Amino acid sequence: MGNDHVHGHHSMNDMLHSSTGGENGQLAKSDALWRLLRPVHLHLAWCAILSAIGAAAGFAPYIAVAEIARMMLGAGETSGSAVWMWVAIGAIGAGVRLLFIFASSRLGHYADAALLHDVRVRIVSKLGVLPLGWFRASGSGAIKKRMTNDLEEMHQLIAHALGELVGAGAAMITGFAYLLLVDWRMALISMAVLLLMVISYRIAMRSATTHMSRLLAAEGRISAASVEYADGIAVVKAFGTGGRMNERFGSAVKEHTNAMLDWVKETTYSSAASRLLSSEMTVLGVVMIAGLALVSADQLAMADLLPFLVIAVGLPTSIMPAIQGGQGIRKGRVAASNIEELLQQPALPEPAHPKQPASYRVELNDVSFSYDGSTETLSSISAVCEPGTVTALVGPSGAGKSTLASLLPRFYDVTGGSITIGGVDVRDMTSETLLSSMSLVFQDVILLRDTVTENIRIGRQDASDEEVREAARAAHIHHVIERLPQGYDTVLGSGDGGLSGGEKQRLTIARAILSGAPIVVLDEATASLDPDGETAVQEALAKLATGKTVIVIAHRLHTIKSADQILVLNGGRLVERGKHEELLAKDGLYARMWNAQQKGES
């Protein structure tokens, strides 16, 4: 049994459980699905009705053939008018099937387009009001999955899976109903084969949850190991084997293989039985043996055996669409749950009565913060950052520097104390007012797939081309841009036009210069710069700081020697403050960090 067959069993199991809702988690996902589908539930209801009628009508040609054959064998009226009546019924049924299936498909795709438009608008609207910290914690992968993968699963469910599942059910009911009218004993025998197939699927899937969990966990490890391997390919090539990378990848692959083998061993006989029972040849054999036995005992006319050879043998073909429909519903439930989880994320609280700051004096008033609500990352930090000054945040890794900087633009809200700008709590300012007052330059450089000019102009949308160039000159990046293939019109793509890490960082500093925002936050802005580039950017930052409130996070202490005040953090607490010379004289943590860096550089 291959992987496809295992997943096929999983799909059938989902279909069989869809009527009951499965476990509590499945019920919650189902609820999320129906809540999401509510705006188009009438369209989907009509889509299901049309699909059911079309599928039922699709049996008319086969029933017509069976009835004509019965008449030819003397089991009924043999007049020409009766034959042509059945021919007409078969033709009309075929036409109705084509028409209704087409209408159902069109209606399903219309509902799909309408719903996905509504969901995309809701997602984008929600993303616009979420705290920026949520994006940093979740990453772009989570958003991409919901905007692409999950919406694609919803498309498959709405446009295809529901119609396939309802149509398959209607087809089986229609066929079984006709067979009951012909001979109830043969009809029950035929359906017994399909019922045994369903039972064998249930047996094959009795431990599906456990096995699927193992497989998904192993696939996750394989994916992580693959990314690690690709990211560390230089190390792999340099050292030949990649050492522990290869071991982790091999271990993940082995676990996946073992999980699959365990599932295959457990389901070998039950899956073989289900495949055998779902085969048209099995149904044909059972129908022939049982039918001929009844014919021999004068319990069934030969003419009445023909419908079972035509209709009953074809019933298993409705199973696969039902499997695919059940799989679509399962994936749709998961996708809807993921989408609803995003839509239910709490928005960044906006003030009912927003205030405007009178100045751009930044005050940290006994600020505390915890990511999980229990362990404090920052504790009781107080400081004042005056306009026209540079405040540097330094400290060992994990001291809380970047966390403190992220509280200023409300990537997260403080859990204790307050942050004010011009005497106004940042929570009493609208997000637009707060963010427009700041230029943020972080160590992770983000460039858009657009021209260099537009990447800088993000800082101020109404800036002229000359103002963009002036900002680039101030950031000491103008001469680099001029050397690009199309200069300022060069489109930055995945390779970012050949810019180095330091040059890309200086491009983002040009944005900050162009914006002219009165508060500038620089998180490790010089971390990826070479000595020449660092000197150039320091000169640019000196111009940027004029009349502005500048807050700089730096590991290279010599870059902030001239800062107006240096705040030294350690373990989430403010342990020292002062100017460079004052802190050296204290011979504390800052002095030790400075001396260590001086020795390292020498």
CB 520 within 8 A of CB 438: yes
| pLDDT at residue 85 is higher than 80 | yes
What residues contact residue 320 under an 8 Å CB cut-off, 6+ apart?
A: none
pTM above 0.75, yes or no: no
Band (pLDDT 50/70/90 cuts) for residue 503 is: confident
Residue with tokens 């001396």: 595
Task: Give residue limits of the domains in the chain.
Answer: 8-182+317-347, 184-299, 362-601
In terms of pLDDT, which residue wins out, 145 or 152? 152
| CA distance between the termini of the chain | 65
By mean pLDDT, which of 153-162, 175-184, 223-232, 297-306 is the weakest?
A: 223-232
User: What homologous superfamily does CATH list for 362-601?
Assistant: P-loop containing nucleotide triphosphate hydrolases (3.40.50.300)
The most confident of the ranges 259-263, 419-423, 497-501 is 419-423
Backbone angles phi, psi at 521, to 5 degrees: -115, 120
CB 442 within 8 A of CB 523: yes
CB 409 within 8 A of CB 353: no
In terms of pLDDT, which residue wins out, 463 or 259? 463
pLDDT digits (tens, 9 = 90+) for 547-579: 789 898 888 888 788 888 999 999 999 999 999
| pLDDT at residue 220 is higher than 70 | no
pLDDT at 92 (0 to 100): 93
pLDDT at 141 (0 to 100): 62
Strand partners, 383: 364
Sheet holding 565-570, edge to edge: 438-441, 519-523, 549-553, 389-394, 565-570, 573-578
| pLDDT at residue 94 is higher than 80 | yes
The most confident of the ranges 86-95, 204-213, 215-224, 495-504 is 86-95
Of all residues in the chain, the percent with pLDDT exceeding 70 is 80
pLDDT at 196 (0 to 100): 81
Collapsing DSSP states into helix, strand and coil, what is residue 566? strand
pLDDT at 322 (0 to 100): 75
Q: What sign does the dihedral 329-332-338-342 (CA atoms) show?
A: negative
Band (pLDDT 50/70/90 cuts) for residue 250 is: confident
Distance from C-alpha of 71 to C-alpha of 89, rounded to nearest angstrom: 15
In terms of pLDDT, which residue wins out, 103 or 314? 103
pLDDT at 496 (0 to 100): 56
DSSP code at position 159: I
| pLDDT at residue 12 is higher than 50 | no
The mean per-residue pLDDT over the stretch 519-534 comes to 69
By mean pLDDT, which of 6-20, 25-39, 264-278, 434-448 is the weakest?
A: 6-20
Integer angstrom CA distances of residue 189 from 192, 279, 303: 5, 15, 18
User: What homologous superfamily does CATH list for 8-182+317-347?
Assistant: ABC transporter type 1, transmembrane domain (1.20.1560.10)
By mean pLDDT, which of 43-52, 136-145, 323-332, 459-468 is the weakest?
A: 136-145
| pLDDT at residue 87 is higher than 60 | yes
Q: Are strands 549-553 and 519-523 parallel, antiparallel or unpaired?
A: parallel
Using only the alpha carbons of the chain, give its radius of gyration: 35
CB 233 within 8 A of CB 246: no
